[in-house]
Amino acid sequence: MEQIKNDIVDYLKANSFMDNSSSLTDNDSLTQNGIIDSIGLLELMDYICEKYSIEIPEDMLTPENFDSLQGITNMITRLAK
Amino acid sequence: MQVMEETSVNIIEALKGDIDSIALKLRGFIRDQVTGFKKKGVIIGVSGGIDSAVALTLCVQELGKENVYGLLLPEEESAPSSKTLGAEVCESLDVSYEEVPISPILRSLNIYDQKEQIIKRTCPEYDPDIHKTSLVLPDFLNQGLLNVPYIRLIKDGETAARHRLRANDYLELIGLQNVKQRSRMIVQYMYAEKLNYAVCGTTNKTELALGQFVKYGDGGVDLEPLADCYKVQVYAMGKLLNVNEEIIKRPPSADTWSHYTTDEEFYWRMPIQIMDQLLYAQEHQLPLKVIEKNTGLSADTIEKAWRHINRIRDSTEYVRATPPVCYINR
């Protein structure tokens, strides 16, 4: 779980969504904190699908699954099983 | 922002109220702008939709039919009804008009081929001979899903497949699609400058709030008479002005996909009556209870919808912005 969270934070920093000095708690909102917008969300989805070799079904494209590190991690864990 | 205290307000009635005087005010605005720009009349792109029908009618009523020129600007993927209805509305007002297909411009830029390549790599089963295509977003109110665009393949009127677009493909596709509206803008200005006319826009307040227009495309105009009228108000004005019933009943669409894709499917993700009530309630800071009563939505859904609307508003700020100027002496 921690590895997934680190991967996501590294991706967000490497792609200029976050400053290198910033940090995120597990439940911080990525949209309400202005970290990702609608295009950033699509890019993050592409990254997740490629990195973890998963397809995200349409009914899992909910704000709960994508708006926080914890939500994203839970979703990847469920789909990667 | 205006704050309204009333708890018994009927939003739809409030939106549809006083349409006669709004129409008069818009007519005065049209005259003032055209006169102020020292132009002799207006050019309007007539799409067969309600907005351009209302704008055209107001311009004709105020400026006279001889000072208004309609342009029908179809392309390969336009619905045939767009041209037919556009011509009908011009003829009913006895306005001079001309059809200028923009397909040659699009072909010269290879727009159709590039679009087809994106659809093919997104949808492996795509066969242009049997499928029509559409770009859609999931329904918001019933499913609460994120703003994730899908290509939909349609065969014999039924959905044959749906595939999520990758971010890069989505961005490229939007750039290609927007060439359609930008080509129309070029043609409109070619005629406007020849006739010494202004270009009249047809963007309404709902579209403006949601960034539902193309910067320097349909947003590239000289005046926007409808931009402070919500779509529901434009419909009410259409009825007042006796716009063809077929145009009023036609689901609104940007009409840029081979399958007629409605604005509800791609932009609003909810019925327009709900979207406009939410936007109006936000603008007038109506109490949640009033909005629940008017829309039939739960407080939770309204809050979610507002967050969704606010995200769209924020992410489309760039579309509404004029180029910032660095004033060196301030």
H or E element that contains B152 = strand B150-155
The verdict on B45 and B164 lying in the same domain is: no
pLDDT band at B311 (very low <50, low <70, confident <90, very high): confident
Mutate to test the interface with B, among A44, A45, A61 (most CBs of B within 10 A): A61
Residue ranges making up the domain that contains B80:
11-108+170-316
Residue ranges making up the domain that contains A32:
2-80
A vs B, Cβ pairs < 8 A, gives 48
**Regarding predicted confidence, which is higher, A71 or B261?**
A71
For the stretch A25-70, pLDDT in tens is 999 888 777 788 888 999 999 999 999 999 999 889 888 898 899 9
Instruction: Please check whether residue B241 lies inside any domain of the structure.
Output: yes
pLDDT at A62: 87
For the stretch B246-305, pLDDT in tens is 999 998 888 888 988 888 887 788 899 999 999 999 999 999 999 999 999 999 999 988
The verdict on B73 and B145 lying in the same domain is: no
State the maximum Cα–Cα separation within chain B, in Å, rounded to a whole number: 63
State the CATH number of the domain containing residue A58. Answer: 1.10.1200.10
CB-based contacts of A1, cutoff 8 Å, min separation 6:
A73, A77
The verdict on B61 and B159 lying in the same domain is: no
Instruction: Please check whether residue B87 lies inside any domain of the structure.
Output: yes
Instruction: Please check whether residue B255 lies inside any domain of the structure.
Output: yes
Instruction: Please check whether residue B224 lies inside any domain of the structure.
Output: yes
For B110, counting Cβ atoms within 10 Å of its Cβ (0-12 exposed, 13-18 middle, 19+ buried), the class is: exposed
Residue among B123, B104, B122, B121 at smallest CA distance from B112: B104
CB contact under 8 A, B148 and A43: no
For the stretch B27-71, pLDDT in tens is 999 999 999 999 999 999 999 999 999 999 999 999 999 999 999
pLDDT at A64: 86
**Regarding predicted confidence, which is higher, B265 or B213?**
B213
CB contact under 8 A, A39 and B167: yes
Inform me whether the pLDDT recorded for B2 exceeds 70.
Answer: no
Give phi and psi for A57, each to the nearest 5. Answer: -65, 150
State the CATH number of the domain containing residue B215. Answer: 3.40.50.620
**Regarding predicted confidence, which is higher, B26 or A63?**
B26
Chain A CB contacts of B143 below 8 Å: 59
> Chain A: which residues have CB within 8 Å of chain B?
31, 37-39, 41-43, 45-46, 56, 58-59, 61-63, 66
Q: Which of A37, A39, A58 is the closest to B171 by Cβ?
A: A39
Query: Averaged over B148-177, what is the pLDDT?
Result: 95
Chain B CB contacts of A66 below 8 Å: 146
pLDDT at B138: 82
Chain B CB contacts of A61 below 8 Å: 138, 145-146, 148
For the stretch B83-138, pLDDT in tens is 999 999 999 999 999 999 999 999 999 999 999 999 999 999 999 999 999 998 88
The verdict on B84 and B200 lying in the same domain is: yes
* ipTM (interface predicted TM): 0.89
The verdict on B75 and B178 lying in the same domain is: yes
Inform me whether the pLDDT recorded for B190 exceeds 90.
Answer: yes
Inform me whether the pLDDT recorded for B325 exceeds 60.
Answer: yes
CB contact under 8 A, B311 and A61: no
Domain count, chain A: 1
Domain count, chain B: 2
The verdict on B151 and B65 lying in the same domain is: no
